[in-house]
Structure 1
Amino acid sequence: MPVIKILPHPEYCPQGTEINAPAGTSICEALLDNNINIEHACDMSAACTTCHVIVREGFRSLNEMEETEEDLLDRAWGLEPDSRLSCQAFVAKQDLVIEIPRYTINHAKENH
């Protein structure tokens, strides 16, 4: 079973951690199943950017990005070339290293 290493995030995962995720599971589902409560304002329907992650290792093993995800990512805070919406990125057989950006578009709107 692939391992997802989550780099430290002050709110969601202060120490960082590693979790196991079955192939075919979205990164978002894997995080939520392991009590890492990443924001997902649209309930994983690819309608927002709150579940944005940066895939530091294993990016090429993920499913291809669809146009809807590409368009939404343009609005994500801290966008990088290896950014994905975690609700749309599905784990394959390779281990991953991900970083959850410090802020989301919701944080900016709510003045967190």
Structure 2
Amino acid sequence: MENIIEIEIEDRDGSTQKIEVPTDMNLSLMELLKATNYEVLATCGGIALCATCHVQIKSGAENLSEPQEQELDMLDTLPDADDDSRLACQLWLKNENDGLKIKIKGALQ
């Protein structure tokens, strides 16, 4: 289907799951994770102020938007952030993201 993509999510315990995602609903990756019952605090509500939705992009980073300054500043505060780190609240899922693979890294509390 034209407006359905599949992404692979690796949880903190190493378990993985593939999820089909509608792209015509304008969901952020954070909203998807919360809607599919992954433990993501998202304390700030998705405005890049808490970093509890920290994810590692395992594959598909080339099809994501570039991080903005506020996201980069927040990632700089994390001891386990690296070049593959992003905040899920800042990633809006589009058709180009089919095949995206991520690992959840954000804090549980």
Per the normalisation by structure 1, the TM-score is 0.79
Indicate the structure with greater strand content.
2
- Gapped regions of structure 2 (runs ≥ 5): none
What is the deviation of 1:76? 2.0
More relative contact order in 1 or in 2 (CA 8 Å, sep 6+)? 2
1:34-67, Cα deviation, whole Å (9 max, x unpaired) = 1113121111121111110001011111122111
1:3-56 Cα distance to aligned partner (Å, 9 max, x none): 12111423xxx6321112233421111111111131211111211111100010
Task: Give the whole-Å Cα distance in 2 for the aligned partners of 1:64 and 1:28.
Answer: 17
Count of aligned pairs = 102
After superposition, the Cα gap between the structure-2 partners of 1:76 and 1:22, relative to the gap in structure 1 and judged at 3 Å, is: farther
Residue 110 of structure 1 is matched in structure 2 by none
Q: 1:96 aligns with which of 80, 88, 100?
A: 100
Q: Percent identity?
A: 31
Q: 2:33 aligns with which of 9, 31, 36?
A: 31
- The TM-score normalised by the length of structure 2 is 0.81
1:7 maps onto 2:15 in alignment: no
Aligned to 2:87: 85
User: Which one-letter code corresponds to 1:100 in the other structure?
Assistant: I
| Structure 1: tracts of 5 or more residues without a match | 108-112
Moved over 3 A (4+): none
Root-mean-square deviation (CA, aligned residues, Å) is 1.8
Q: Where does residue 21 of structure 2 map in the other structure?
A: 21
Q: Which amino acid aligns with 2:7?
A: I
